[in-house]
Structure 1
Amino acid sequence: MTDTIDDPTEDLPAAAGEFAEEYPEVWEAYSELGEATADGGPLDDETKRLVKLALAIGTQSEGAVHSHVRRGLDEGVDPETLKHAAVLAIPTVGFPKAMAAMTWIEDIAE
């Protein structure tokens, strides 16, 4: 992909961008699945972002936590609201994992 002006992979992390360039049909299908799942129910955008952040916390995916925090901030979600997702994770994933997630949130939010 030489034209980065209209390149939808331009803002992706390096690994995802490389994958999207190497497998554009798979990336397009994956993106369409994401859109379909987002549009498939009644949740508002902020709630969807918080659910996705919570899932990222639960799976201990630092990259996904960073991504959802970054997108949440871009969408106007308050940083304290994003941090609350990590606090809520304490009884479910345990204090150490929730604190790891809190540091990942703070990496981006502060």
Structure 2
Amino acid sequence: MADDITDADELPSTASDVAQEYPDAWDAYTELGKACSEAGPIDGETKRLVKLALAVGTQSEGAVHSHVRRGLEEGVDPETLRHVAILAAPTLGFPKAVAALTWIDDLAD
């Protein structure tokens, strides 16, 4: 099961605009996400946490929000999502971990 959003109506406005303006590119992008998701044995919740960690690592507030929102919809415990930010502290630094925690808390509170 792919865990990327494929329906442009469910996307934040900017991504939705890109999906509608460039549907072939959007379709290829979602197919890549599906293929990557199905390429290995990692379970759904773990994939969501890895994707959240990658978003935290790139300091992308929008991507953190996206993965937190989808994680909550998938039943991931908010404390589990917060743990990802705390785990980032030794590698990324405390300020970046705290920033990620605030982004997670934007939706997980």
Length-normalised TM-score, structure 1 = 0.93
CA distance in 1, matches of 2:94, 2:45: 25
Matches within 5 A, 1:1-110: 8-110=7-109
Letter of the structure 2 residue corresponding to residue 79 of structure 1: P
Q: What RMSD in Å do the two structures reach over aligned CA positions?
A: 0.9
Partners of 1:53 and 1:92 in 2: how far apart?
A: 15
Distance 1:68 1:25 in 2: 24
Q: Which consecutive unaligned segments of at least 5 residues does structure 2 have?
A: 1-5
State, as a whole percentage, how many aligned pairs show the same letter: 67
Q: TM-score, normalised by structure 2?
A: 0.94
Displacement over 3 Å in runs of 4+: none
Letter of the 2:52 counterpart: L
How far apart are residue 67 of structure 1 and its match? 0.2
1:8 is displaced (CA, Å) by 1.5
- Per-residue deviation at 1:90? 0.2
Distance in 2 between residues matched to 1:34 and 1:95, nearest whole Å: 30
Structure with bigger gyration radius: 1
Structure 1 unmatched ranges of 5 or more: 1-6
CA deviations 1:33-74 (Å, max 9, x no partner) are 000000000000000000000000000000000000000000
Q: Equivalents in 2 of 1:82, 1:20: separation in Å?
A: 28
- Count of aligned pairs between the two proteins: 104
How far apart, in 1, do the equivalents of 2:9 and 2:21 lie? 14
Amino acid at match of 1:31: T
Deviations 1:75-99 (A, max 9, x none): 0000000000000000010000000
